[in-house]
Structure 1
Amino acid sequence: MAEHLVELNVTGMHCNNCAMSIHKLLEKKGLQNVLVSFASEEVKFSNESQLALPQIIKDIESLGFKVVDEEDQQPAPFFAKIENKFAFCTLFTAPLLLHMVLPWHFLHNPIFQLILCLPVFVIGCLHFGKSAYSSLKNGVPNMDVLIFIGSTSAFVYSLVGTVQNLGEHYLFYETSATIITLVLLGNVLEKRSVNQTTSAVRDLIKFQQVNANRVVESGVEVVNAKDVLSGDILLVNEGDQVPVDGDVLSGDALVNEAMITGESLPVPKTKYDKVIGGTILQQGNIRIMATKVGSNSTLSQIIDLMKKAQAAKPPVQKLGDKVASIFVPVVILIALTTFVITYFATDAGLQRSMMNAIAVLVISCPCAMGLATPTAVMVGLGRAAKNGILIKGGDTIEAVANTRYVIFDKTGTLTTGKFSIHHIKPEEGFTIEQIRGVIMAIEERSNHPIAKSMVNELLQLPQQKLILRAVTEEKGLGMRAEDVDGNRYFLGTAKHKTEDNFYLTLYRNQVRMAQIAVDDTIKPDAASLIAQLKKDGITPVLLSGDKKSRCLAVAKTLNIDEVHFEMLPDDKLQVVDMYRKKGKTIMIGDGINDAPALTQADVGVSMNDASHIAIQSAKVILLNTDLQSVVKFLQISRHTLLTIKQNLFWAFAYNIIAIPVAALGFLNPMVGAFAMAFSDVIVIGNSLRLKVKKVN
């Protein structure tokens, strides 16, 4: 059955636990590729079994959330916003806390304290109670169950003390209110921080929200970029953002593509060139025809890739999720045991036993565990994207960590794909300067990429000038020319190519003047990349369909010991498979002839320009052709995994220490609530550090 992708906007998620309860509900229903982000209020899944969508929406809403239509989204009511709930509760909690430091008599009055606590308790019940009840109903108890039980116990205990007039030892209204207020504060901080971690995607979305100048019969009309249709003619002026992907019909321009490819130098564009939506026209004016619009555009695909990537769970996170799901029942059990032991085995009395149990409930928060991985993955992917590295999936980051082999394709990966004169072999009676002069004079008139490369190179070298009267290009053969003295020249592909190089031959009046060996140039940073990989204990491998002599020459220059040449796509698959059996393998190729091998590797990396962004075979796409981004990719991946491990260690260690301390009565519930919020902030802070820290 065809896969059917569904996207919903869901409001009311205030922390990672809410997202997790929706995630578990949808997985229970057998839906695939579930992605729930509480920060962007998005829920996505593929509905292969074609379950009725209204029923799925009803089930999500039964958890206490609201599915809204993006088009007619109403402004949210005041109390729907977590920040407003927190501000409202703080207003009532502050005077409640003051009675602990100020001697004013009315602050100690039980009725006054009840009046202050009640609004906070009602907000807490609605906020945490609804979510707690729904999670219990669906058999996946979440953190809100603990918060709800803790704050309610303190409130009911105090209410009984007030009604029966048992004195101030029975008043813990401030505990109930403070727990609710501090946990709301934690939710506010969590939401803000996660918003920061998803900023890379939001920055890209901003690039889509622009206007376009559409050429119509009456002149030019300004439309929103999302209303542009394929085939529309658009005018892009200096300083404008290119609204959609397209082909240049007329005009010349310099385009800054840094936000897509990470390439800092502006790229010249002229007729027939492709432009990418979201890039900036720095100089000139062009007329383009829209080709890829809407969800087909390069930018949309990047955004989609990033969203999917942020949702793909690495194995490390799955461990965190498992722990968090069995955590809540265990904590309730520990809290009950604490109450029973403290009350019956010691003389601590009801009040102390109660407070210890509440402290256990409040302090044990698996939120930090739930946040440990997604926040680090989001920041890591965002940082990679800013460096022109698109990673499809958080699980890719983990796959990279213990890489043993990096397999490179040759042409366009380790070499530039631009050609240079490797060697000129003059025939007897001709000088090298004379031959250079002839090649220069002829090739200046050609548009062929090899010709352009040769001209650039010859400009720097001594040569004997030659003045030509006429030059004609014969497609597929070469160039014919005539000089002012009537000599006729031909420069073209040699009839008999030798094994080692791609030869051109130069004739004058049908006499051979020289043979020219033209070769692909090695990228300037290839040697340092290979050296860096070897230093990190990774074995570089060259895998190419090219001739043996050329592959060996490149391997020798770059100091690569393992070489496989004259390989067809099928052979490449077998070689990749062989290395995978020995250890984790990354394959780096130019994405088209290497597509099967890229899919086969543990991680396929496509060295590609942005127009091929959608090559589905690679898990990583390097948007700039600079090979240093391979090193950058490995470094960012390693540091992201390191951050995840630090976060999980902190989250586990916090709970292992905090629960016994609370159970033994060394922490009151208010300090517990504060410590719980603080643990989330530390985990998120550590993840955000990844934005700026050195990753060498």
Structure 2
Amino acid sequence: MRSEQALDQWEAKTYRVQGLTCPNCAATFERNVKSLPGVKEAKVNFGAAKLTVWGEATIDELEQAGAFEQLTIREERERTVRPEPFWKRKENRNVYVAAALLAIGWTASAAGSGRLAVAAYVAAIVIGGYSLFRAGFRNLIRWQFDMNTLMTIAVLGAAAIGEWQEGAVVVILFAISEALERYSMENARWSIASLMEMAPDEATIRRGAEEVTVPVEDVRVGDVMIVKPGGKIAMDGIVISGASTVNEAAITGESLPVEKAPGAAVFAGTLNGEGFLEVEVTKRADETTVAKMIDLVEEAQAERAPSQAFVDRFARYYTPFIIAVALLIAVVPPLVMDGAWLDWVYRGLAVLVIGCPCALVISTPVAIVTAIGNAARRGVLIKGGAHLEQIGRLRAVALDKTGTLTKGKPAVTDVIVYEGTREQLLAIAAAIEKRSQHPLASAIVRRAEEEGTPFLDVPVGEFQSLTGQGVKAVVGSETYYIGSPALLTGLIGELPGEAEQQIAVFRSEGKTVMAVGTANRLLGLVAAADPLRPSAPDTIAALRRLGVAEIAMVTGDHRQTAQAIGRQAGVSDVRAGLLPEEKLAAIRELKQRCGITAMVGDGVNDAPALAAADVGVAMGGAGTDTALETADVVLMADDLRQLPYTIHLGRRTLAIVKQNIAIALGFKVLALVAAVPGWLTLWLAVFADMGATLLVTLNSMRLLRVKG
């Protein structure tokens, strides 16, 4: 592909492609589009059935480039239509006519009318194999050997040696196989494409004194959207008036409704309950969370998994090998062993038919597409087949404490004052922490607000975050420090004995302790508790049942506090008091000792550790652009239970990919063995190839049933 700099001057346009069933066909289609006069570059995403074009091309030109497979091109944002039942499809009419002609041929043959039978078989071959021959001859001229080329040679060879009935059966079975394969792939893709149906096409907007209904593309950031009871929310936004419950299962996979009040975020595609809401729109239609989900998942389907790369390399050598074997079977025995030419040519043609690599080539992508689609519908974004395979091979999991094993919403439980008054201590602490994004800072601010402490007017200057330790700022003319007791110990030397005892008590209770003071004295202690998620113990137990060998907690919190949380959660390997670079070292040690390792965090903090892990997993990605963009896996709901589901899905996917490869190769090997003594007929070869393709597809569909 050309460099991104060279393509920047050209507009990229993305389309949806209907009828794309085979990776080889996708590659051929991509080459055809690239050869169009106005096209500078093109890229086909087989998994998502999408085409991106740099340059200029009309839909008619693109459909002409895909005419060899009768591909249909649609605009990217055009609503997807659910695939029609197999028997209703227009493209299958030729198959029905060919099958009827084959039946006529059989009847005529049984009645002794040989000429009528041959005429019926020829008509069945021509009508049923029209699209096959068109693609096959084109490829043959270009010296390209794909399944259409192999099948065309096989059918023409059967006709040449007078096996008209066999040729007709081969054409019909191949056409049925292609139609079923197309139908199965479109149904697999539907699980993603149907996500587009979640968000409404129109939104009701208040403009001035009027309420108007407009297409979502015309809604502007800052507009006020009206959401009536029972209605779907059309855009991402912030509630500014009203209260209700919203079912966010479409985004997060969580079926329980979430309460919404002024200040709460809502997402496009979610379902409002019984309340009336006014929502200020915060994102355009193409930037909503559901739009990003769809884009990320479809990009993920374009990523090639390691197993798929292996299969593609294998298929590159496999097809020429099969052609060579078929040629040797057809030619060598008659020349060397005085065998009958017609007999051995027939066997060679049968080997050629069974050599179609379709089932093998599709064995991995169909499983990956299905698994990623299933995960997305359950609120888990997996950004590619490579990450899915890594998840399936996980041997160790490292979990952050705050916001992962705990709820991430700590509350202040105790305030101990050693100098001054409680109100003064809270006012200074809240005024400083108001400028911090840390959850513990928010807890202090909330407590000050609850107690009515006047902190907003406290003058604060020179605020500075001290990585892994706390914060400092100037209040009035004096510098204050808020952070871990170790921070104050480093400033003033030993803390008073009474304070040390109190800190030990708080930590034994699983509380996090913050010290407030200046460079030479301790003013007080603030203790906060971040309760353990109720699902944490069950999640840890589930991970062990899945065979995760090592589960560790990595946190910057004090060891006593972390160990108390670890005991409650069932995590024995607790690594506490870690700075960001120490968390990174912990991940590297786990990878070296255990193998493939995942790091689970909030997607914003702990970036080095998330990046260093084989799989970075972000919690609560709904509405968090950073998590959506940086993590390999995003658990959209703030629900730890999605983690075991994701690992289970990865392991099932790995198993099914291996089964698919075994099925595809197993059928080929059996058929090749049967070809040597002459047991393999042409129609049985097609039936075996069709059976392998359908089994691989249906086996992959089992991944849709994997649940949390």
Structure-2 change in CA distance of 1:231 and 1:515 (3 Å): closer
In the TM superposition, what are the counterparts of 1:470-485 in structure 2 within 5 Å? 472-475=452-455
AA in 2 matched with 1:526: A
1:86 equivalent in alignment to 2:92: yes
Aligned partner of 2:666 in structure 1 is 653
Partner Cα separation in structure 1 for residue 311 and residue 208 of structure 2: 60
Structure-2 change in CA distance of 1:88 and 1:614 (3 Å): farther
In the TM superposition, what are the counterparts of 1:432-447 in structure 2 within 5 Å? none
CA distances 1:473-532 after superposition (whole Å, capped 9, x unpaired): 423799xxxxxxxxxxxxxx9999865455699xxxxxxxx9984311111222233344
AA in 2 matched with 1:593: N
In 2, are the aligned partners of 1:23 and 1:36 still within 8 Å (CA)? no
In 1, are the aligned partners of 2:97 and 2:128 still within 8 Å (CA)? no
Question: Of residues 119, 122, 128 in structure 2, which corresponds to 1:117?
Answer: 122
Partner Cα separation in structure 1 for residue 411 and residue 51 of structure 2: 53
User: Displacement, 1:275?
Assistant: 0.7
1:679 equivalent in alignment to 2:670: no
AA in 2 matched with 1:351: L
Aligned partner of 1:387 in structure 2 is 378
AA in 2 matched with 1:567: L
Aligned partner of 1:245 in structure 2 is 236
In the TM superposition, what are the counterparts of 1:387-426 in structure 2 within 5 Å? 387-419=378-410
Partner Cα separation in structure 1 for residue 93 and residue 361 of structure 2: 26
1:96 equivalent in alignment to 2:87: no
Structure-2 change in CA distance of 1:63 and 1:578 (3 Å): farther
Aligned partner of 1:586 in structure 2 is 598
Q: Secondary structure at the match of 1:690?
A: helix
Question: Which piece of structure 1 moves more, 210-219 or 330-339?
Answer: 210-219
Q: Secondary structure at the match of 1:416?
A: coil
In 1, are the aligned partners of 2:42 and 2:51 still within 8 Å (CA)? no
Question: Which piece of structure 1 moves more, 53-62 or 288-297?
Answer: 53-62
Aligned partner of 2:14 in structure 1 is 7
1:620 equivalent in alignment to 2:633: yes
1:305 equivalent in alignment to 2:285: no
CA distances 1:207-240 after superposition (whole Å, capped 9, x unpaired): 1343211223462222222332222221110111
In 2, are the aligned partners of 1:246 and 1:292 still within 8 Å (CA)? yes
CA distances 1:146-175 after superposition (whole Å, capped 9, x unpaired): 1110111223443xxxxxxxxxxxxx2222
CA distances 1:261-298 after superposition (whole Å, capped 9, x unpaired): 11222111122221100000012111112111232110
Structure 1 unaligned segments of length 5 or more: list them: 159-171, 428-447, 455-469, 479-492, 506-513
Aligned partner of 2:468 in structure 1 is none
Partner Cα separation in structure 1 for residue 365 and residue 178 of structure 2: 16
Aligned partner of 1:261 in structure 2 is 252
Q: Secondary structure at the match of 1:234?
A: strand
In the TM superposition, what are the counterparts of 1:445-456 in structure 2 within 5 Å? none
Structure-2 change in CA distance of 1:209 and 1:340 (3 Å): farther
In the TM superposition, what are the counterparts of 1:663-678 in structure 2 within 5 Å? 663-678=676-691
Aligned partner of 2:421 in structure 1 is none
User: Displacement, 1:244?
Assistant: 0.9
Structure-2 change in CA distance of 1:538 and 1:503 (3 Å): closer
TM-score norm. by structure 1 comes to 0.78
In 2, are the aligned partners of 1:362 and 1:672 still within 8 Å (CA)? yes
Partner Cα separation in structure 1 for residue 544 and residue 201 of structure 2: 46
1:21 equivalent in alignment to 2:28: yes
Partner Cα separation in structure 1 for residue 310 and residue 451 of structure 2: 70
Aligned partner of 1:607 in structure 2 is 619
Question: Which piece of structure 1 moves more, 310-319 or 415-424?
Answer: 415-424
Structure-2 change in CA distance of 1:594 and 1:176 (3 Å): same
In 1, are the aligned partners of 2:22 and 2:362 still within 8 Å (CA)? no
Aligned partner of 1:192 in structure 2 is 183
Structure-2 change in CA distance of 1:102 and 1:120 (3 Å): closer
Structure 2 unaligned segments of length 5 or more: list them: 82-86, 419-440, 459-481, 489-494, 516-523
Structure-2 change in CA distance of 1:320 and 1:72 (3 Å): closer
Structure-2 change in CA distance of 1:256 and 1:354 (3 Å): same
Partner Cα separation in structure 2 for residue 284 and residue 475 of structure 1: 35
Structure-2 change in CA distance of 1:544 and 1:302 (3 Å): same
Partner Cα separation in structure 1 for residue 13 and residue 166 of structure 2: 43
AA in 1 matched with 2:118: Q
Partner Cα separation in structure 2 for residue 102 and residue 138 of structure 1: 39
Q: Secondary structure at the match of 1:198?
A: helix
Partner Cα separation in structure 1 for residue 73 and residue 707 of structure 2: 41
Q: Secondary structure at the match of 1:287?
A: strand
Q: Figure out how many residues of one structure are paired with residues of the other and give that number.
A: 613
TM-score norm. by structure 2 comes to 0.77
Partner Cα separation in structure 2 for residue 516 and residue 329 of structure 1: 73
AA in 1 matched with 2:634: I
Partner Cα separation in structure 2 for residue 24 and residue 587 of structure 1: 40
Structure-2 change in CA distance of 1:380 and 1:89 (3 Å): closer
In the TM superposition, what are the counterparts of 1:345-364 in structure 2 within 5 Å? 349-364=340-355
Partner Cα separation in structure 1 for residue 415 and residue 296 of structure 2: 48
